[in-house]
Structure 1
């Protein structure tokens, strides 16, 4: 009876250990690096340059092409794995400082979703490190697979609507500065607080816009039965660039995504882990 308790606590203790916490901060910062690269690729698209895909796979491929790029990718991979462990632990045991049960449950569900996202990012990073490049066609392949199922069009449309809502929530969280609830800024000076607040606001809103456009493309793919319409963030950003004054709109969103990347560096320091 007495041996069961320590065994039951061991996964929680491991995931909350100092090495995992530090690794999680590396992973958050790594996400910042990816967003800065995505922003750079998006600006290239806006200015008519070829460049790579303006999404995570394009950014990772750009890293792989650099000297010691594969070594850096493996470092990013380890950071992302630590984020997965930390987010998964938070989803099960975290946010005990929140007294409102519904709010605590929502936070835990969000962290479960983040664990899945970072697991996919870790897998993509490892694949890119091994192969040196990523095809980046996973979005359209996944959509095609769903469309092929019975009732697939409805399912894809529901997913698209969910992504649009997710983008809207991100815009709302940016506008209301909800992201600061998960940070401990006790030791931050006034300048750091202002930079954290502004880059977080701009970054969340810009990324929310891009995610919202992606959701619209997924719904369009369902209506037109065309999975190529929903080929990830790259398609969403290129769609923005094709609108009236699209170059300026895409550059503005790219700057916002870069702001999100800068925010990630601050969040790596101040996020509660």
Structure 2
């Protein structure tokens, strides 16, 4: 990027309005995780629903004022994605420099938040679809060829890796480095529980993608919702679902902490 382009991104980072909009993305993520946790707990007691992002967005859309909230979510996620783009190019706002790993992480997060924004956009305009159905459809198409199966296995490994990283970040309490100011015991335990629960769920989703390839059954690759429902089918599944729902909900609460105290 040219020097003028880099300078423009640096000026964007110094915008208070831009930072607040980006922080709102964390708050929206918190709402969605709370809804996913609630849906997971409902599944434990025999009620239907999709315990994933699409299920949370559909739940939000069904509430009074839900469509307006979804448009707010689109804007907030786009702002957070753009903030990560600036970090990938010029580094973090409050640090003198960022290494290559930090910049790659910021770029990856930008892609994730853009995907969230696109999903929210679909539900905001009334054309949202179940993530599980979409995942199963994509998996079915890729499984028709050997290279496609290879792509799926790589994707499975990446998802499992992200899940393991979340667990590690929670157990090691490295998430405290993402926050401004002191981090007390209560917030530490909140981060441990939230990151660990989300990491286990993500790792389970990745393993199901691999299982779908080896069993030639694309219906198993239904993402987070499939992982949660597989957990519920195990012995003591109801208890496990309640614990998973509480853990994901705690991550949602932690996301509200990020909205206020994340190092930007």
Answer whether TM exceeds 0.5 for this pair.
yes
TM score, norm. by length of structure 1 = 0.89
Kindly indicate whether the alpha-carbon contact (under 8 Å) linking 1:64 and 1:133 is maintained by their aligned counterparts in 2: no
Q: Which residue of 2 aligns with 1:179?
A: 175
2:226 equivalent in structure 1: 235
Contact kept, 8 Å, 2:6 with 2:89, in 1: the verdict is no
Distance 1:149-1:197 versus aligned 2 partners, 3 A rule = same
Segments of 5+ residues of structure 2 without an aligned counterpart are: none
Aligned with residue 199 of structure 2, among 208, 222, 235: 208
Cα distance change on mapping 1:93 and 1:5 into 2, 3 Å: closer
CA positional deviation for 1:118: 0.7
1:167-220 C-alpha deviation (Å, 9 max, x unpaired): 11110110011111121125xxxxx73332111110000000001110110100
The residue aligned with 2:43 is: 45
CA distance in 2, matches of 1:232, 1:121: 14
CA drift of 1:248 comes to 0.8
Match of 1:153 among 149, 154, 158: 149
Q: What stretches of structure 1 move > 6 A for 4+ residues in a row?
A: none
TM-score normalised to structure 2 length: 0.92
Root-mean-square deviation over aligned CA pairs: 1.9
Cα deviations by residue, 1:73-109 (Å, 9 ceiling, x for unpaired): 111111101100011111222247377x7xx322222
Matched residue, 1:244: 235
* Change in CA separation of 1:172 and 1:39 when aligned onto 2, cut-off 3 Å: same
Q: Which piece of structure 1 moves more, 193-202 or 109-118?
A: 193-202
Contact conserved, 1:81 with 1:119, CA < 8 A, in 2? yes
Unaligned 5+ runs, structure 1: 187-191
- The separation in 1 between residues aligned to 2:241 and 2:96, in whole angstroms, is 38
| C-alpha contact (below 8 Å) 2:176/2:188 kept by paired residues | yes
Matched, 1:75 2:72: yes
Deviates more, 1:130-139 or 1:208-217: 130-139
Flag the 1:93–1:220 CA change in 2: closer, same or farther, 3 A.
same
Shift of 1:259: 0.5
The 1:21–1:168 alpha-carbon spacing in structure 2 relative to 1, beyond 3 Å, is same
* Matched pairs, number: 261
Aligned to 2:90: 93
Give the CA deviation at 1:15: 4.6
Q: Distance in 2 between matches of 1:240 and 1:58?
A: 17
Conserved 8 A contact 1:16-1:86: no
**What CA distance in whole angstroms lies between the structure 2 residues aligned with 1:157 and 1:266?**
35
Map of 2:253 onto structure 1: 262
Residue pair 1:240, 1:246 contacting (<8 A) in 2 also: yes
Measured in 2, the distance between the counterparts of 1:67 and 1:214 equals 32
1:129-150 per-position Cα deviation (integer Å, ceiling 9, x unaligned): 1016433322212222332344
Between 37-46 and 108-117, report the one with greater CA deviation. Answer: 108-117
